[in-house]
Amino acid sequence: MSEVVATPMPRIGDVAPDFTATTTHGEITFSEWQGDDWVVFFSHPADFTPVCTTELAEFARRNEEFTERGVKLLGLSVDSIHSHVAWVQNIKEILDIQIPYPMVADINMKVANKYGLIHPGESSTATVRAVFVIDPGREIRALIYYPLANGRNVDEVIRLVDSLQTSDKYVCATPVNWNVGEKVIVPPPKTEEEVQDRLNSDYEKLSFYLMKREL
């Protein structure tokens, strides 16, 4: 039996590790399945557990909002494909929700180890609640980690996607608690000339280094 070796945890700016795996939508090779889309790749600790069920269902309810943003959802846990299939059926029965996105069956932790999803201080057998936001160039753009007992906030994942896509499109940053439609942050000046340009602009000026503008 070949030993699975944990690689260093991928970080922001790294290329998302590629893999081939069995999913509830058949076998996929991540890079091919992604195509030219963004991906929100998220792990949960275990099938048939209460917090995970609420998360899976909420990602399913909000799937259309991800699709509108050019984002594919992909789930994963250290469970068998039979468990995933049975859980998807159970969620349909108890919540009347069809899970529209694939879930990776990672019983041998091959993908979990590539993505650094086992945090032994929390659990050596289950993946933590991780979210990787991966752009169309397969670059990891953001990471979120939550522990086993606490569910994530899907509003925040969508807000994060909006922030990243807005920063890319308009070459700007987004302030705390930013939401679509609100002013964005002008990148701080790097030259004296840029300071003057900003001071002469109609931006909202809080300081020479903190200016906001409408999109």
**Taking the CB of residue 96, how many other CB atoms lie within 10 A of it?**
8
From residue 179, alpha-carbon distances to 97, 167, 183 in Å are 28, 12, 9
| Residue 172 falls in the annotated catalytic set | no
Q: How far is the CB of 110 from ligand BEZ (least distance, A)?
A: 21
Work out the angle between the directed axes of helices 50-61 and 81-95 (0-180°, nearest 10). Answer: 70
**Taking the CB of residue 8, how many other CB atoms lie within 10 A of it?**
7
∠41-119-116 over CA atoms, to 5°? 45
Q: How far is the CB of 52 from ligand BEZ (least distance, A)?
A: 4
Residues 139-198 close enough to bind ligand BEZ by CB under 6 A: 148-149
Asked whether position 52 contacts ligand BEZ by CB under 6 A, the answer is: yes
Which one is catalytic: 16, 40, 52, 118?
Answer: 52
> Could you say which of 6, 9, 28, 51 contacts ligand BEZ (CB under 6 A)?
51
Asked whether position 45 contacts ligand BEZ by CB under 6 A, the answer is: yes
Residue 80 CA to its chain's centroid (Å): 22
Comparing CB distances to ligand BEZ, the nearer of 129 and 141 is: 129
Comparing CB distances to ligand BEZ, the nearer of 43 and 166 is: 43
Comparing CB distances to ligand BEZ, the nearer of 31 and 80 is: 80
Which residue in 170, 199, 194, 192 sits closest to 182, CA to CA? Answer: 170
Q: How far is the CB of 109 from ligand BEZ (least distance, A)?
A: 16
Residues 86-115 close enough to bind ligand BEZ by CB under 6 A: none
Q: How far is the CB of 48 from ligand BEZ (least distance, A)?
A: 9
What SS3 class is residue 59?
Answer: helix
Which burial class, exposed, middle or buried, applies to 190 when counting CB atoms under 10 A from its CB (0-12, 13-18, 19+)? Answer: exposed
Count H helices, E strands: the chain?
A: 7, 10
Binding footprint of ligand BEZ, residue count (CB under 6 A): 8
Q: How far is the CB of 54 from ligand BEZ (least distance, A)?
A: 8
Comparing CB distances to ligand BEZ, the nearer of 29 and 125 is: 125
Asked whether position 9 contacts ligand BEZ by CB under 6 A, the answer is: no
Which burial class, exposed, middle or buried, applies to 178 when counting CB atoms under 10 A from its CB (0-12, 13-18, 19+)? Answer: middle
In the complex, which residues of this chain contact ligand BEZ (CB under 6 A)? 45-46, 49-52, 148-149
User: Which positions are catalytic?
Assistant: 52
